């Protein structure tokens, strides 16, 4: 292991979109940043576009064995994680609604967007505890907010609603360890997921996560948008 004195952040789904912009922002603040993609090649290609101390890691958050392997890789580079950003996610609800969606699709989306974040946080816990005041940040969505739920976006909405719930519960459970857990709503962002019509740039979508990762604040169990607490 080659330990660094820099703060260390893990950004899931860091190879593109909002995650890539988060990685870029943290590298600019002199963090060591581990970025993940499902394919190592994709993570490596993204890492090559970034400057600074960046480590590409293969990770499929829907699979526990992949999470274990990724944590083993992370341990080769660092004995602690100051920040874990659960950003990876899928939006697979084209052509379905709450009346037509199959169990398999509901389960698959929840498995990635919600259970993936919970299981990765569990797996990273020893590394988070080894940091002085670690932070977990979950990329949620307006579609997960009580007033944002849409019958036309069934599995995604439920997965982010549940991710918000997990944020509250993880915050409770990790408070005794001095680890904060918060969620962000990045807004509608121009990415592969958000599409070209989205009004926000990836950098705008990434701003609140970067701020929560780096600012001197210890709030926990909250949902944030544009650096402000908003209602779940
Ligand atoms: N764009 C928006 O308007 C918007 C709005 C609200 C919230 N969000 C949230 O923001 C986050 C990032 O979205 P984005 O817009 O940047 O989307 P994106 O460009 O489609 O990127 C999605 C990322 O998630 C990764 N990912 C997907 N499934 C995964 C899995 N099973 N295991 C590990 N990684 C996986 C992808 O990695 P691969 O390259 O390996 O597929 C990719 O890096 C998501 O959680 C999304 O729900 C986005």
Q: What is the pLDDT of residues 119-160, one digit of tens each?
A: 999 999 999 999 999 999 999 999 999 999 999 999 999 999
- Cross-strand pairs, 228: 225
What's the pLDDT score for residue 2? 56
Q: Is the CB of 17 under 6 A from ligand 1?
A: yes
Q: Does residue 81 belong to any structural domain of this protein?
A: yes
What's the pLDDT score for residue 4? 77
* Catalytic residue status for 31: no
Q: Does residue 162 belong to any structural domain of this protein?
A: yes
Q: Pocket of ligand 1, candidates 47, 71, 88: which has the most ligand atoms within 8 Å of its Cβ, to mutate? A: 88
Ligand 1 atom 32 nearest Cα: 60
Ligand 1 atom 44 nearest Cα: 89
Flag residues of the chain having pLDDT under 70. 1-3
What's the pLDDT score for residue 3? 67
User: CA nearest 209: which of 58, 30, 5, 21?
Assistant: 21
Catalytic: which of 31, 91, 143, 156?
156
Q: Does residue 1 belong to any structural domain of this protein?
A: no
Q: Does residue 2 belong to any structural domain of this protein?
A: no
What's the pLDDT score for residue 5? 87
Give the number of other CB atoms < 10 A from CB of residue 190.
18
Please give the C-alpha separations between residue 79 and each of 4, 54, 152, in angstroms, as whole numbers: 9, 16, 43
Q: Does residue 3 belong to any structural domain of this protein?
A: no
> What is the reported pTM?
0.98
């Amino acid at each position: 292991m080659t330990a660094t004195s820099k703060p260390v952040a893990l950004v899931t789904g860091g190879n593109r979109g909002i995650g890539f912009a988060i990685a870029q922002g943290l590298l600019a603040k002199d963090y060591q940043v581990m970025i993940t993609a499902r394919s190592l090649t994709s993570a490596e290609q993204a890492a090559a576009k970034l400057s600074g101390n960046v480590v590409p890691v293969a990770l499929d958050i829907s699979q526990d064995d992949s999470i274990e392997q990724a944590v083993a890789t992370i341990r080769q580079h660092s004995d602690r994680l100051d920040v874990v950003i659960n950003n990876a996610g899928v939006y697979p609800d084209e052509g379905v609604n709450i009346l037509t969606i199959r169990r398999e699709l509901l389960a698959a989306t929840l498995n990635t967007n919600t259970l993936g974040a919970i299981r990765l946080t569990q797996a990273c816990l020893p590394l988070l505890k080894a940091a002085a005041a670690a932070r977990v940040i979950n990329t949620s969505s307006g579609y997960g907010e009580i007033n944002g739920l849409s019958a036309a976006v069934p599995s995604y909405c439920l997965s982010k609603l549940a991710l918000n719930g997990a944020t509250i519960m993880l915050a409770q459970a990790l408070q005794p360890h001095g680890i904060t857990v918060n969620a962000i709503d990045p807004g509608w962002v121009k990415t592969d997921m958000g599409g070209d019509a989205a009004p926000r740039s990836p950098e705008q979508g990434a701003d609140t996560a970067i701020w929560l990762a780096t600012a001197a604040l210890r709030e926990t169990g909250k949902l944030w948008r544009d650096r402000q607490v908003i209602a779940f």
